Each structure stands twice: as structure tokens, then as C-alpha cells.
Structure 1
Amino acid sequence: MQVEVAERLPAEVVQEVRGLLAAALAADGVRPVSEESELRLQHGGPVGGVDVTARDDAGTLLGYARLELPPGDPEAEAELVVAPGSRRRGVGTALAARLEELAADRPLRVWAHGELPGSAELARRRGYDRARVLLQMRRPLDDVDPAPEVALPAGVSVATFRPGTDEDAWLRVNVRAFAAHPEQGRWTRGDLALREAEAWFDPAGFFLAWREEPEGPRLLGSHWTKVHPAGEVGDEPIGEVYVLGIDPDAQGMRLGRALTDLGLAHLRAAGLSAVLLYVEEDNTAAVALYERSGFTRHAVDVSWRRPADRG
């Protein structure tokens, strides 16, 4: 088996990997890597990121991994996937061993999407501990009013996102709203631009709450929705509460509820029958809030962590 590392894969290999990802999705019913890893596979990523491929002696692609080694970050993070027909043949072990070598003296976190039995086996066998759990929650939309009357605080109005105009304001609030979040709070203008260029991006489903102030309108929060096509996360198209963020200074104004209602109404009006969202399992307040709003637990993603001194 040949395991190779590249800072950027050639276009033809990117297409090979995308085919492998599609095969894994069809076999397992869950996306094998995150949206972020797919974007970095296709467009490249920040300094320190690499793509890792595993092939047999005939050159057939057996597995893929994406590793992030950000300069200055004390830990490394990765995702890996093995082709459905090549599992339990040592491919996952070979990829994991190479990721560990590349991580060197950094602890390594590896995401397992859907918590499939094979991923848990591999992680425990190689000395990883279950470190972080991301819940996917879902709820039906059949009881959602597609044209709700939303109560907003005095001086606050909601408008949809204006590409080319609202990026900087949205990024400022995103950083503040997700200051403690290890991924979302680090988004840059480039991260936002990549998503605006994706086929699924629809500014009509991206709601921003503004307050008129003496110095001009100030963004207080937003609800960015997304629509997954049939086959991506289910047999039918499904909506997502993609990013819901409120500026800390605007907490307590019930903007989160108002923006959520507007987003769900938009998805319902688009003809969708269900919506999903992701939330940290240990964020018990948010989980309880979503459960009261009709969401139930559907699946989990697990981050497994291997200390640097576990050789």
C-alpha cells in the first residue's frame, strides 16, 4: 500500500477523492468528511493543511484523509475515510499511522462522522479518547407557519443578506458570537467567499437583524439557512439552521427566536419537510432549547483525541 501526502492534489485526483466520498456517503448514509474539508480538498486551505491518499499497488484509491496543522496551534486535526470495498484491510490503520507521524509532537484530533463501529474500533485500538461530541438534531416542518408574524424590538428590522455589501458586518458579529467556538469563530473573509460561491448559497435564506443607531445601522444577529439536496444527508432535500449567531451585546432581546422562526418559515415555504442543525452535546442549555422547539437527536459526530505522548 502506498500512502502519499500532498499540499494540494491535482484536479484529476480531487475528482477521484470526490468519487470515493460519494461512495462512502451512499454506503453509510452520512457524509464522511465535513463541509470544511471538502472545500479545502477542492480549493486548497490555510498553511499547514495537507491531503493524504492511500492506494494499492495497482494505483486504485483506497482511502483519503485531510490533516490540518495550523502554525501556532498546539493540536492537529484530521478526518479520514476508507472506500467501502476496502475496509478492514488495514487502510484506515495506514492512514491513521501517517497522520500521527505528520502530527509529530502535537496531540491529534480525528473526527468520526456518524460514529460508525469501525471508526470507534480504530480509534480505541490506537489509543484515542472520546473528546468531543457534536449532535445532529432534526425536526419536521409541517407545523411551521410559512408566513409568521415575528415580534422584533423597537428600532430593529430584518433584511436578507446583500452579497458584496454585508460581509464585513456579518464577520464581525460572527467572531463575537462564536468567540469560544473552535471552528466557527475563526472564519475569515475567504471562508465566507468560498461558501458564497457554492451552488447551494442563497441570500434569500440568509436573514440579518439590524438596529438603527445614530452612527448608522448595526448588525445584531443573523440566521443563515442552507438546503441540502436529496441524497446528501437523506433521501429527500432537507433544510439546515446553518449559522445562527447573536452579538453578545444583543443577548436577551429574543432575536434568536425571531430569526429562527423566519428561517424555518423560509425553508417551509420552499417546500421542505424537515430541518437539521448541529450543536455541541455538552451545551446542555442549547440542546434543551432545541428540544423544546421540537428538535430530536438524529446522529452524532465524535472527535477522538490522541495525546502526543501516546506512541
Structure 2
Amino acid sequence: MSNPEASSGRVTRAERLSPTEIADVTTLARAAGDTDGADPFDEHVLLRLRDPDAPAVHLTARADDGTLAGYAHLDTTDAATGVGVELVVHPAHRRRGTGRALARGVLAAADGPLRVWAHGDHPSAAALAVDLGLRRARVLWQLRRPLTAPIPEHPLPDGVTLRAFWPGADDEEWLALNARAFAEHPEQGRWSPADLRVRLDEPWFDPEGFLLAVDGATGRLLGFHWTKVHERPGSARIGEVYVLGVDPSAHRGGLGRALTAAGLAYLRDRRDLDRVMLYVDESNTAAVALYERLGFARWSAHVNYQSA
């Protein structure tokens, strides 16, 4: 949900979008992200947009001349946890009512409780959430640090080595490790083979930047640091601590710090980047403390609103 006070226009519903409509939504999202300083959709929505078989409800708001003024994406795949919603309005069409028109469309289309993300925690999004009777349920922080600053040295625990991810060979064991490491996480711990595969097929994927910590004696995976590089025309390149996880059996041995430092060094030395970001739940105080000790500072907040 991104600054949803928007231009008036008709709102239509569809179960899938045409390639032209997908391109329009992508262009709209890029314009909103450039204006607001935060992309209006998370990666999950962008991947589903490009998948014609992904079940979703698409709401589009167009101005009188046919220009796409706003869009809402409803993820209907998990009725137990509610309908996931992300909503955006083009910066040139704001403060004319389409944000509220889209919100009314969301309420009419949703069959179950709502989970709505407001990327960037914009005041207009917060005001709309109040009007819709949604409560502030979760905060995801984006942290950043310069890679030009020294990276603390944290050696790997004894008997642990690092290697790159082997697509195809490591998939099953990594998914099991990911599930253990994120057993309490509402999204990450539930990845399926399809969730992994669609990301391995993305243009940004680099197996050399997917670092695995391995028990040297048994070959068992103990942890991982999956890095990502964001490259977009007109924007500076930035690295990301995409996913960092440690098997619960390997906690408290310094592996998380060592993996973080190794990934940061990879982004600096192998990818020639000068800054890096990551996302972490506000409630995960241990992770927040770890990242702050490693030089990260808060950059922005993303808020999840839910039905009361």
C-alpha cells in the first residue's frame, strides 16, 4: 500500500492480466518507487505478476483517458492466514480518490481477513488503514550500511567451511534447512520447491553469491547467506542480505556473524558494490542487534496491517 490518495477513475477486476497490463503495472510501480523512496510491491507480488497461473485477484483503476492510475494485488492462495493485499497509486494521479476506490474494491473482492503491506510507512497509507478498520500488526525494517566501511572479521567456527550453492543438488537439503531456520517466520519458513526454483531462474541469481556453511566432517548444511544484487536503469546498484539462516543446532557459535561478514565481503570484493541493505522484523530483537553491531542502521519501515 503506497500513498493511496489517488486520482478518480473506474476500478475493474480480473483474474489474470495481459502482457500489456503487466507492463503497465510494472511501469506504475517503478514510478511510485522512485517518488516514494520505497518500492510498492514486495518480491513475492512481482514474481506472481509474471506467472500467468498464479491465483490472484487484480484490481486496476484507470483515468478517463485510459491511463493506469492505480493497482491492487490480492493474493488468495492461503485462506487460513487471510488475503494478502498490496496497493499502489501512480504519483501523477494522487489525491483524487482512487486509493479509496481501490480499497473499497479490495473489501468487496476479499473473502476472508486482510493482510495489507504499506511499503515505506507512508502517512496516507496509515490513514487509509484506520478508515478501513485495519490494525498495525507487524513492522519490517530495511537496514543499510556502506560497504566502504570496514567489515568486522568473524572467523567460521572450527570444522565449518564455506562453498557456493549447487542448483539441483542442494535444493532439497537447503529447503529443509530453511524450514528449520525459519520455523516461526510467517513466510520464509514455508518455501516450497517451486518457490526456490522461481528465484533460481531469476536473472539476478548467482550461485557464487549463495554461500553455504558446511560441516567439514559430515557435509551437512549448517547455515547460509544468500546475497542479491539490485540493478535497475537509472538507479545505483545495491547489494542485499537476501536470506541469512542458521540451523537451530548451530546457534550461539558465531556462525551467523561469520556468514554475514562473508556475504558482505563477497558483495564488496566480488561484485564491486559500495552499499548493502537487508530486511528484518522489528520483533526479531536478536537479529536487529546483530546487524546493528555489524554497522547497519535503519533506513525505512514497511508495515503490515491486518483486519481487526
Give the TM-score, by structure 2 length.
Answer: 0.91
1:210 aligns with 2:211: no
Give the conservation status (yes or no) of the 8 Å contact 1:153–1:253.
yes
2:89 aligned partner, one-letter code: V
| Post-superposition offset of 1:144 | 3.5
Does the Cα contact within 8 Å between 1:144 and 1:264 map onto a contact in 2? no
2:222 — aligned with what?
220
- The CA distance in 2 between the partners of 1:35 and 1:297, in whole Å, is 20
Aligned equivalent of 1:2: 10
From 17, 25, 29, the counterpart of 2:25: 17
| Residue number among 90, 97, 100 corresponding to 2:107 in the alignment | 100
Query: What residue ranges of structure 2 are gaps of 5+ in the alignment?
Result: 1-8
Task: Name the aligned partner's letter for residue 18 of structure 1.
Answer: T
The AA in structure 2 aligned to 1:79 is E
The alpha carbon displacement at 1:285 in A equals 2.0
- Alignment of structure 1 residues 71-82 onto 2, 5 Å: 71-82=78-89
Q: Return 173-182 or 2-11, whichever deviates more.
A: 2-11
> Which one-letter code corresponds to 1:198 in the other structure?
E
After superposition, residues 157-172 of structure 1 pair within 5 angstroms as 157-172=161-176
Counterparts of 1:291 and 1:73, CA distance in 2: 35
The 10-residue stretch of structure 1 (114-123 or 219-228) with the greater mean CA deviation from structure 2: 114-123
- In the other structure, the counterpart of 2:34 is 26
Q: CA deviation at 1:280?
A: 0.7
Which residue of 1 is the match for residue 287 of structure 2? 286
| In structure 2, C-alpha distance between the alignment counterparts of 1:163 and 1:250, rounded to whole Å | 24
Identity %: 51
Q: Is it true that 1:152 corresponds to 2:190 in the alignment? A: no
Q: How does 1:248-259 map to 2 (within 5 A)?
A: 248-259=248-259
Name 2:194's counterpart in structure 1: 190
Quick check: 2:257–2:290 contact (8 Å CA) kept in 1?
Answer: no
Count of equivalent residues: 299
Once residues 250 and 74 of structure 1 are traced to their aligned partners in structure 2, the CA distance between those partners, rounded to angstroms, is 30
Comparing 79-88 and 150-159, the one that deviates more: 150-159
Gaps of at least 5 residues in structure 1 are: none
Determine helix, strand or coil for the equivalent of 1:43.
coil
The one-letter amino acid paired with 1:217 is G
Paired residues of 2:153 and 2:261 also in contact (CA < 8 A): no
- The separation in 2 between residues aligned to 1:128 and 1:231, in whole angstroms, is 36
Shift of 1:253: 2.5
Give the TM-score normalised by the residue count of structure 1.
Answer: 0.90
SS at match of 1:124: helix
Residue identity in the other structure for 2:108: E
Of residues 32, 53, 64, the one that matches 2:71 is 64
Which of 124, 134, 138 is 1:118 aligned to? 124
| CA drift at 1:122 | 1.5
Could you tell me whether the CA contact under 8 Å between 1:210 and 1:219 is conserved in 2? Answer: yes
Q: 2:180 aligns with which of 176, 179, 189?
A: 176
Partner in structure 2 of residue 35 of structure 1: 43
Please tell me whether the aligned partners of residues 213 and 223 of structure 2 are also in contact (alpha carbons under 8 angstroms). Answer: yes
Match of 2:300 in 1: 299
* RMSD (Å), alpha carbons: 1.9
- Cα distance in 1 for partners of 2:129, 2:153 equals 49
The reply to whether residue 140 of structure 1 matches residue 143 of structure 2 is: no
In the superposition, relative to structure 1, how do residues 188 and 94 fare at CA in structure 2: closer, same or farther (>3 Å)? Answer: same
Q: Given that residues 230 and 238 in structure 1 are in contact (C-alpha distance below 8 angstroms), is that contact kept between their aligned partners in structure 2? A: no
- SS of aligned partner of 2:219: strand
Deviations for 1:33-72, whole angstroms, at most 9, x for unmatched residues? 111101111114654x222211234322111111112244
